[in-house]
Amino acid sequence: MDAQFPPLKNDLLLRAARGEETERAPVWVMRQAGRYLPEFQKVRAQHGFFEVCRTPALATEVTIQPIRRFKGLIDAAIIFSDILVVPQALGMEVEMNPAPFFPDPLVNPEDVRKLRSEVDVHKELGYVFEAITSTRKALDGEVPLIGFCGAPWTLFAYMIEGGGSKTLQKAKTWLFKYPEESKALLMRIADVCVDFLVGQIAAGAQLVQVFDSWAGELAPHHFAEFSLPSLKHISSGVRSKLTAQGIPSVPMTLFPKGANTSIPSIAQEAGYDVIGIDWCIEPSVARQLVGDKIALQGNLDPGLLYGGREAIEREVKRMCESFKAGKKAKAWIANLGHGITPGVDPEDLRWFFECVHKYSTSV
């Protein structure tokens, strides 16, 4: 597969994801191709959000924009797409106005019949695969390319709530009132995620990440009951299908935002190479919880990017010291603890990258 692509010049991310020691921590940020960039805003002024996702040339352009702007400072690109393309592939309508909105959400388990019984990801999501191949070639080996999907619990919640929610009342009603039907739907979503990630890897993604953005909204025992089985299904399913198709495996990252008390069971059972952590847990504590066989990713509070350069430098230094614990950078990918927000000054993000380079360097 890799024969069609230029050789990789910067493999820091992949080495860290495999648990290796690195000369410094590789760094990228979630949502790094997005609204905080003026060049992205120019593209969006002429094209709708999902139009950009579905047009490989546009998706390639916006994926590369931060790599171009912060040349030499970012160690990975992440394909421009959205977690909600999976519900779309299942037959649901999703709009961006500007937040996600489902005109016809799932109201009760009978509504599951409205979803496609079989999903051909190449037919429904082939545009993502095309964008990945195009972007991988356009990157010319400068940095690795990350693919991704949403976790089943997070997607399930969107599909039932009809958009974002502070309480997840409707989604939790399903879990507790219709537990077996909920588990069946979660696994159905997971099956699509497996095929979607395998397709992305076949198309050229060199690492894939699963975003469980609402993992922390579940009690630890409910996370173990409802979310964790589908996450395990994805990691094992992707690897088995890659093996069956003769495609080399790639590192897999899970970002279970907010589920910090579940980190030990995630590390032991979920089957991922990297666990992303938010800013509500100390990196040194997270390392104790996962042991030395799993890489960590994170975890600066995105709000600090509004705090000025002195605050950014101070907190990046603190983060690096906690991750490194007096040793060399090992099995750590520097990132924010969630996605970058739209109002950030790109030059303050540049400073974040520069500080990571400075303070994560192995000595």
Which position among 44, 239, 314, 350 bears the catalytic label? 44
Q: Is 359 considered catalytic here?
A: no
CA angle centred on 134, ends 86 and 190, rounded to 5°: 20
Which position among 31, 136, 188, 287 bears the catalytic label? 31
Tell me how far apart the alpha carbons of residues 292 and 275 are, in angstroms, rounded to a whole number: 12
Tell me how far apart the alpha carbons of residues 59 and 33 are, in angstroms, rounded to a whole number: 10
Q: Is 318 considered catalytic here?
A: no
Cβ–Cβ under 8 Å, residues 292 and 257: no
Q: Is 308 left (phi over 0), alpha (psi -120 to 50) or beta?
A: left
Residue 255: both structure tokens together: 């970002």
Tell me how far apart the alpha carbons of residues 223 and 204 are, in angstroms, rounded to a whole number: 32
Q: Is 309 considered catalytic here?
A: no
Tell me how far apart the alpha carbons of residues 309 and 348 are, in angstroms, rounded to a whole number: 7
CA angle centred on 132, ends 129 and 136, rounded to 5°: 145
Which position among 54, 75, 158, 287 bears the catalytic label? 158
Nearest in space to 193 (alpha carbons), one of 160, 241, 243, 265: 241
Amino acid identity at 138: A
Tell me how far apart the alpha carbons of residues 232 and 154 are, in angstroms, rounded to a whole number: 15
Which position among 11, 82, 195, 273 bears the catalytic label? 82
Residue carrying the six token digits 């977690």: 83
CA distances, 217 to each of 42, 194, 240, 260, 290 (Å)? 35, 24, 30, 11, 21
The CB-side HSE value for 214 (13 A sphere, CA atoms) comes to 25
Residue 99: both structure tokens together: 């937040």
Q: Is 44 considered catalytic here?
A: yes
Which residues are designated catalytic? 31, 35, 44, 82, 158
